[in-house]
């Protein structure tokens, strides 16, 4: 299966490529930033799947129209949620336009794409994580924060995916990237990608700082074994 990644942000493009490459049966045909480049590729050689970041907005709908107008109906257009979950109205617009699926970086993207291409969800595939998030409709409950920290940390809390949260808990326990990869059955490269995302989203200086900020936002419970020795190491968090 050949996949074209479409995402405005260069870091996101590189990260998604890493996640998709985990699946041996998928070849990344390329990665582009926007609608015009994606449409040109679609018209020329037509990869089997267009994996489009939802930050492209209505560009996803426009690419579906290009796909249909060029007679390339065999190409699957899949919306990819890399951060904030789109509104229910936006998701419905994607489905109504004819996207073949909506997936999330919180799950195994490669497995989702294979399921979509194999016809396991002829009516349209939607990530289970996204389905649960849509149904929940309740904002997370956060502990009180100092006024100057609230905007950044609240936004970070909302953006951290379930996969990143799993990695965060193991970072707090003092595990190395290699150990986390072994425990989660992922590659070390994917773990490094998640750790990098956590540092960026919480605007943390290092691993200890990211744990400290995660405690303040409620991403980690205050009873988290941070600071305890795990396998001969300690993650220290100063107040």
Residues 52-68: tens digit of each pLDDT = 999 888 889 899 888 88
Token output for 99? 């996207």
Containing structural domain, residue 132: 2-136
If asked whether residues 127 and 159 sit together in one domain, one would say no
pTM of the model: 0.57
Is residue 233 predicted with pLDDT exceeding 50? no
Specify the DSSP class assigned to residue 140.
P
Question: Looking at the structure, do residues 22 and 108 belong to the same domain, yes or no?
Answer: yes
What percent of the chain clears pLDDT 90, i.e. is strictly above it? 6
Q: How many domains does the chain have?
A: 2
65-107 tens-digit pLDDT: 888 887 777 888 999 988 777 777 788 788 888 888 888 887 7
Q: Which two tokens stand for residue 131?
A: 């389905």
Same domain, 17 and 114: yes
Please check whether residue 29 is in contact with residue 4, taking contact to mean a CB–CB distance below 8 angstroms.
yes
7 shares its domain with 100 = yes
Tens of pLDDT, residues 129-158? 676 656 554 444 334 444 444 444 445 555
Q: Within a domain: residue 143?
A: no
Q: Which of 105, 136, 167 is the last residue of a domain?
A: 136
9 CB-near residues (< 8 Å, 6+ apart):
53, 55
């Amino acid at each position: 299966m050949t996949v074209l990644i479409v995402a405005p942000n260069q870091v996101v493009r590189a990260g998604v490529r890493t996640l998709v490459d985990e699946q041996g049966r998928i070849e990344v045909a390329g990665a582009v930033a926007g609608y015009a480049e994606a449409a040109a590729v679609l018209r020329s050689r037509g990869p089997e799947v267009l994996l489009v970041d939802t930050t492209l907005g209505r560009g996803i709908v426009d690419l579906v129209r290009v796909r249909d107008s060029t007679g390339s109906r065999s190409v699957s257009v899949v919306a990819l949620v890399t951060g904030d979950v789109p509104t229910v109205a936006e998701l419905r617009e994607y489905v109504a336009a004819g996207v073949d699926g909506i997936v999330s970086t919180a799950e195994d993207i490669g497995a989702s794409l294979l399921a979509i291409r194999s016809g396991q969800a002829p009516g349209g595939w939607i990530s289970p994580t996204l389905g649960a998030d849509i149904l929940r409709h309740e904002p997370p409950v956060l502990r009180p924060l100092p006024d100057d920290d609230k905007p950044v940390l609240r936004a970070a809390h909302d953006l951290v995916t379930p996969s990143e949260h799993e990695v965060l808990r193991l970072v707090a326990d003092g595990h190395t990237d290699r150990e986390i990869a072994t425990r989660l059955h992922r590659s070390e490269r994917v773990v490094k990608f998640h750790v990098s995302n956590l540092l960026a989203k919480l605007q943390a200086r290092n691993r200890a700082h990211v744990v400290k900020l995660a405690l303040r936002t409620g991403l980690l419970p205050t009873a988290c074994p941070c600071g305890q020795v795990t396998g001969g190491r300690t993650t220290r968090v100063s107040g």
